[in-house]
A = this chain, B = another copy of it.
């Protein structure tokens, strides 16, 4: 068998292609309870279920926002939550033409004998969990593998183990109707230059696509969520056009055209940076046989969170702000972003947290 051709094949291909619709992208709202707690702490909001629910309602019901989104990634708790008026979030999304997605990994664990490298867990009973999520309305999934750059890193072990985990996760998802987003994040932490990042990214992506092929994954029914190719967080910044050139070249060298779309992660980039870089990629004149769009968490929510600060009276303002960022990124997928999007103070604030753990 070369690749999955089971009962969900056509649906997977269709959903993956839909997510890559030009002008649309993904809101990554799948922060685990612990992680969202850190966000709340920064705006002095208590981390309880009601507040988590309220934040997500703010985002999903923001007027005019859903047309800019093709998908939203959810944490398990959120998949089953509803608006204050009692409408399941999943229905809100479906009515807005947005596919619900679900984070299915269970975080990282250290690899013995390495210099703090990790692999990702979550494969146990994954098939069953995917079936439940599909029944609840999810149509795509996300699994985050993490690698880092250092003098001798990433090691071959870390690359192989993470690539294999991604491939096992991917085929299990497909067998159960969920489009797998393959996310091999290479952390931006470090003082390395952009060439180093490019070398590592190309090596990691090549390993991922070999593993996906080995595991019979249907590439037409997958998405890739990679880091952009940039200098390390402690190195000198470069222009957006340079990031665009290096990033697209890395994809040209490793990602087969059967994959319909790339949904970039924002890493520690500021909201504006992430938008401008994506825009530069879509303006680049070179071979790009896949959509280039976004799957942003912090880079879509940061200024919105601050505007909300947990107060009901701020909801409207926060939603307008959110609309501004969604629209900006929608334009970036078309290469038409002109800068200066609605996004109050904070849109240029770096969101880099060293050794970021979700």
Contact = CB atoms under 8 A, between A and B. Distances in A.
Interface of A: 1-3, 198-200, 202-203, 206-207, 209-210, 213-214, 219-220, 249, 252-258, 287, 289
B206 A253 contact: no
A20 to B, nearest CB: 12
Nearest to A254: B256
B2 A199 contact: yes
Number of copies: 2
Most chain B beta-carbon neighbours within 10 Å: one of A209, A257, A258: A257
B252 A199 contact: no
B3 A253 contact: yes
A254 to B, nearest CB: 6
B252 A202 contact: no
A32 to B, nearest CB: 33
B254 A213 contact: yes
20 contacts: A2-B253, A3-B202, A202-B213, A203-B213, A206-B209, A207-B210, A209-B209, A209-B210, A210-B210, A213-B253, A213-B254, A219-B253, A249-B258, A252-B258, A253-B256, A253-B258, A254-B256, A255-B256, A257-B287, A287-B289
Contacts of A253: 2-3, 213, 219-220, 256, 258
Contact of A252 (B206, B213, B249, B257): B257
A219 B206 CA distance: 12
Nearest to A209: B206
A256 B256 contact: yes
B213 A2 contact: no
